[in-house]
Amino acid sequence: GILCSTLVSAAILPQTSSAAMRNALYQRFGVFALFVTDGLRGRSQREGFEASNVRFIAEAVGLEGLRSVTVFEDPHMRRRNGRLSRLNSEFMSITTRFNALHQLLERLRADEADHVVAAIKPGLQDLAEVLDSFSGRALTSPDAARLVDQLSAYKDGLPAKVRSLRASFQEGNPTDAEQLDFHTAYELLYRFVDDLHNYAQTHASLAEHRHAREDWHEAYTPKTNWLACAAAGVRASFILIVLGSYWVATAWPSGATMTLIAAATVGLSAATPNPKRMAFQMACGTLIGALVGFVEMFFVFPWIDGFPLLCVMLAPVIIFGAFLSSRPQYAGVGVGLLIFFSTGSVPDNLTVYNPYTFINDYIAMVIGMLVCAAAGAIILPPNSRWLWRRLEQDLREQVVYAISGKLKGLASSFESRTRDLLHQAYGLAAGEPQVQRDLLRWMFVVLEVGHAIIELRKEQAILPVHPAYAESQPWRQAIRVMGRSLVRLFLQPSASNLERGLIAVDHAISRVQATDEPFAPHFDTSALRRVKSYLHFIRTSLLDPQSPLAALKGAPNAS
User: Which has more pLDDT, 516 or 507?
Assistant: 507
Give me the mean pLDDT over the 495-504 stretch: 92
Mean pLDDT computed over every residue of the chain: 87
pLDDT of 559 over the 50 cut? no
pLDDT of 555 over the 70 cut? no
Backbone angles phi and psi of 492, in degrees to 5: -135, 80
How far is Cα 528 from Cα 146, in angstroms, rounded to an integer? 35
How far is Cα 131 from Cα 98, in angstroms, rounded to an integer? 13
Distances (CA, A) of 180 to 103, 104, 108: 15, 12, 12
How many angstroms from the chain centroid is the CA of residue 559?
Answer: 31
How confident is the model over 193-229, as pLDDT tens digits?
Answer: 999 999 999 999 988 888 888 887 777 778 888 888 8
So what's the pLDDT on residue 207?
86
Give me the mean pLDDT over the 63-83 stretch: 81
Tell me the residue type at 486. L
Return the closest-CA partner of residue 320 out of 289, 297, 290.
289
HEC string for 360-421: HHHHHHHHHHHHHHHHHHHCCCCCCHHHHHHHHHHHHHHHHHHHHCCCCCHHHHHHHHHHHH
pLDDT of 340 over the 50 cut? yes
Identify whether the C-beta of residue 109 lies closer than 8 Å to the C-beta of residue 545: no
- Report the sign of the C-alpha dihedral through residues 212, 217, 218, 222, in that order: positive
Give me the mean pLDDT over the 27-56 stretch: 88
| Residue 557: pLDDT band with limits 50, 70, 90 | very low
So what's the pLDDT on residue 453?
94
Instruction: Please state the pTM of the whole predicted model.
Output: 0.79
How far is Cα 297 from Cα 315, in angstroms, rounded to an integer? 14
- Report the sign of the C-alpha dihedral through residues 201, 100, 459, 191, in that order: positive
Dihedral in degrees, nearest 10, Cα atoms 385, 54, 412, 135: -170
Identify whether the C-beta of residue 444 lies closer than 8 Å to the C-beta of residue 426: no
